[in-house]
Homo-oligomer: A and B are copies of this chain.
Amino acid sequence: MKRKVLVIEGDGIGKEVIPEAVKLLTLLGDFEILKGDAGLECYRRCKEFLPRETLEKAEESDIILFGAVTSPKGVKDYKSPILTLRKTFNLYANVRPINNFGLLRLEGYLGKNKFLDVKNVDLVIIRENTEDLYVGFERELYDIAIADRVVSKKASERIVRFAFEYAKENKRKRVSCIHKANVLKVTDGLFLKTFYEVAKNYKIEADDYLVDSASYLLIKEPERFDVIVTTNMFGDILSDEASLLLGSLGLAPSANIGERKALFEPVHGSAPDIAGKGIANPMAAILCVAMIFDYIGEKEKGNLIREAIKHCIEEGKVTKDLGGSLKTHEVAEEIIKYVTNY
């Protein structure tokens, strides 16, 4: 039986990059493709940001490919569809590979003195995706608002084990835990303790960093990091920050992985400013397709796509965000040409 993939294009450039990604998906694999609606335009049509019908299709799918949605202004009780999908299907591991294909060079000068030189960035951020400040427990009394930051042993163990298994499978050398246990002694204390307990079962290096220090070192000395595991909110911040190392958000894919299902989404948003012009970079969406093949155990196909993207970057066959002049569909065509001639 074919695997079912639910495709949710969403808003803005989601509608431009996802169709290109689907071309790669169906070219290299054999899936049953479903289509689902979500986002702001969907809301304008049917008063729902994530219709029940889409959730039902998601339920019966193995994989979700999600574009991007535009957040509304001034809609009370708005809940991002992506948060609902994560919660509904318990997609507990958020995986963000930061791989610049060895092509980016970041240099810094102070006067004549070079101090930054970043090449060959290849790290992965694994973010706990279900709890922390995302549990949605907030309350207000008089003029004081309080949110619960929840860290459980169970979820900590699960995400840390996921990180070490990921490291093992992908022949990574080190897992670094990022936390703020010097201030959050109980919550991050639990996370950090669990990290080192789980680490004992693996022959993989384990170390840890405070989140403030990590936010500095991540860009300054990215070669320190290999696999990073962290709690939800720190992961949210650090993974967007790490995209700096790619030069463009247009190169950043992500996966949200659960026990039975996984959702893949480019990190960039719906980008209303460039939507409709056909100039959005489809590479992040196409890298999501590579992650889908990794996920179903067809890693050679994932690698082939990544190779094609590396090739296009080397040849300057890129969109404007990377300094090129190609259109969205032209970049996709170049990638398709590469993988079909292979």
Stretch of A37-45, A180-188, A289-297, A331-339 lying at the B interface: A180-188
Asked whether, in the complex, the Cβ of A112 is within 8 Å of the Cβ of B323, the reply is yes
Asked whether, in the complex, the Cβ of A247 is within 8 Å of the Cβ of B103, the reply is no
Q: Complex formed: what's the CA distance from A175 to B229 in Å? A: 33
Given contacts A103-B110, A107-B108, A190-B140, contact A322 B185 (CB under 8 A): no
Interface flag for A71 (CB, 8 Å): yes
From 217 to 244 in chain A, residues with beta carbon under 8 angstroms from any chain B beta carbon are 219-220, 233-234, 236-241, 243-244
Asked whether, in the complex, the Cβ of B186 is within 8 Å of the Cβ of A138, the reply is yes
Asked whether, in the complex, the Cβ of B147 is within 8 Å of the Cβ of A186, the reply is yes
Asked whether, in the complex, the Cβ of B146 is within 8 Å of the Cβ of A248, the reply is no
Given contacts A71-B182, A190-B140, A241-B219, contact A103 B108 (CB under 8 A): no
Q: Complex formed: what's the CA distance from A187 to B239 in Å? A: 23
From 316 to 342 in chain A, residues with beta carbon under 8 angstroms from any chain B beta carbon are 316, 318, 321-324
On chain B, the residues within 8 Å of A109 by CB distance are 104-105, 107
Q: Which residues of A are at the interface with B, using a C-beta cutoff of 8 A?
A: 71, 80, 83, 103-116, 133-134, 138-140, 143-154, 180, 182-187, 189-190, 211-213, 215-216, 219-220, 233-234, 236-241, 243-244, 247-249, 313-314, 316, 318, 321-324
